[in-house]
Structure 1
């Protein structure tokens, strides 16, 4: 698989939930996989290094002892409920910095986490460094586009850019020039479910697009938006004509299954230039 040859035992995967970590493990099985305490391993039967956020510096020590020089953070990460009594002294000294970043929003939190790994000597890489084919380039992957679709995509891109500038979300749904929904804390599925439940706002045949893109200025090594078969199913249930994403800025999880689902649902997938 492309990209896997350059990734070996010197790389650690800090794995969240979802299908992305398993995809990366399949591409680079020699990586050290690290998961939060109590969370399942991304692939059954593999050994993992468990860690607690309250003991972040000891995690850095453990990685260095194993010869790790690079880390990739991938998958959905839930904000943990911190237990003060579990902090070691060195990690506790970082708490004010992390809390301040968390209060400033998701982007600030992610930048702070990346900064900590780098300060402790680790190179932070994106999922696309392991699997370059996860990030589609510009072009229509399947289906057909109308001028109305292009206009809706342009309007949705403007909305997502405005949302991202204030660290709100990475997606929006637009049909016939009208914004039907925007992505916020509940996430993409909740947004598409809302559109499906309120389709009277844009009745008729399949119309409208779901647009997804990174936030302006986002560090693309972490938390790139992702699209997969479930996204296609949700978009189809919402009566949309297609899914549009910023070319080079979105992860297409399980490409074959996603394209097959889109073709079966009669909706298009389009990588749009920024």
Structure 2
């Protein structure tokens, strides 16, 4: 990746835009944040920034070019908007037929289309893992708790399932308990999947004791990691504990962790393991 010049960070919700901004600045590069109205945290105004609506691609591109930005990274959560809520500027109005087609499909289809629109404006779209590699989850166990032999088998099953479901543009996460696939992430997202599994346990539909099972997350095969890399923070650990799981496994190098120390502290306090795993699962 070429050095020099500020990096534009398109910021959705959550803690990850700030973590990426700080990591980039620690490398000696300036950042300019483009904050998405209705999603980005107002606390991000402490950085050089511009607010915008999702449908104002033309005006955002003009501001970025005026600032000398050539590389852009998209960070933070978004919910899929309705086309009529985008607040389209003239650039986007001209692209409206294409935009409408992008919404007729899964997330991979939508995100790949967004990549094309950004590239057409003359920018290089980078991944958070490219501009802030120190935030990637490393291989191995984080913290003082490790997976049991059964949990390791559950992790292997979960990783295989994510690989198998990837072509269908399903979510990136599954819950596996003692060899049973108990939940698969779809449009609801990870937190709601964990809540659904927890409710199945509490209702007696699934009779697993607390402290069994694993949340497994990994990028889907062929997924463009520049725009949809999984993320892991303390809140995910808390949700997994509430659901009664034993731990969490992510693909090593396939997830962003904005504050590893805070993550480990929560996992140790709640008695969960967090592991970055590769194909060898060593």
TM-score by length of 2: 0.87
Q: 1:55 Cα deviation (Å)?
A: 2.5
Q: What is the count of residue pairs matched by the alignment?
A: 270
| Aligned residue among 5, 10, 19 for 2:6 | 10
Contiguous gaps of at least 5 residues in structure 2: none
Tell me the equivalent position of 2:152: 150
Q: 1:42 Cα deviation (Å)?
A: 4.7
| Superposition pairs of residues 250-269 of structure 1, within 5 angstroms | 250-269=255-274
Shift in alpha-carbon separation, 1:273–1:55, aligned structure 2, 3 A: same
Q: 1:58 Cα deviation (Å)?
A: 2.6
CA RMSD of aligned residues (A): 2.2
| Superposition pairs of residues 57-96 of structure 1, within 5 angstroms | 57-83=58-84, 87-96=88-97
Tell me the equivalent position of 1:160: 162
Question: What's the secondary structure of 2:44's corresponding residue?
Answer: coil
Tell me the equivalent position of 2:32: 32
Cα distance between partner residues in 2 of 1:181 and 1:246: 18
| Aligned residue among 170, 175, 178 for 1:176 | 178
Q: 1:261 Cα deviation (Å)?
A: 0.9
Shift in alpha-carbon separation, 1:84–1:20, aligned structure 2, 3 A: closer
Question: What's the secondary structure of 1:168's corresponding residue?
Answer: coil
Shift in alpha-carbon separation, 1:7–1:206, aligned structure 2, 3 A: farther
Tell me the equivalent position of 1:19: 15
Question: What's the secondary structure of 1:226's corresponding residue?
Answer: coil
Q: Is this contact kept in 2: 1:213–1:246, CA < 8 A?
A: yes
Deviations 1:100-130 (A, max 9, x none): 1221211111111111222222111111223
Shift in alpha-carbon separation, 1:52–1:85, aligned structure 2, 3 A: closer
Tell me the equivalent position of 1:198: 200
Cα distance between partner residues in 1 of 2:238 and 2:89: 45
Tell me the equivalent position of 1:135: 136
Q: 1:80 Cα deviation (Å)?
A: 3.1
Tell me the equivalent position of 2:254: 249
Tell me the equivalent position of 1:188: 190
Q: Is this contact kept in 1: 2:32–2:47, CA < 8 A?
A: no
Cα distance between partner residues in 2 of 1:247 and 1:148: 20
TM-score by length of 1: 0.90
Question: What's the secondary structure of 1:243's corresponding residue?
Answer: strand
Q: 1:168 Cα deviation (Å)?
A: 1.5
Q: Is this contact kept in 2: 1:189–1:234, CA < 8 A?
A: yes
Shift in alpha-carbon separation, 1:251–1:124, aligned structure 2, 3 A: same
Question: What's the secondary structure of 2:46's corresponding residue?
Answer: coil
Shift in alpha-carbon separation, 1:190–1:83, aligned structure 2, 3 A: closer
Q: Is this contact kept in 2: 1:224–1:250, CA < 8 A?
A: yes
Contiguous gaps of at least 5 residues in structure 1: none
Tell me the equivalent position of 2:237: 232
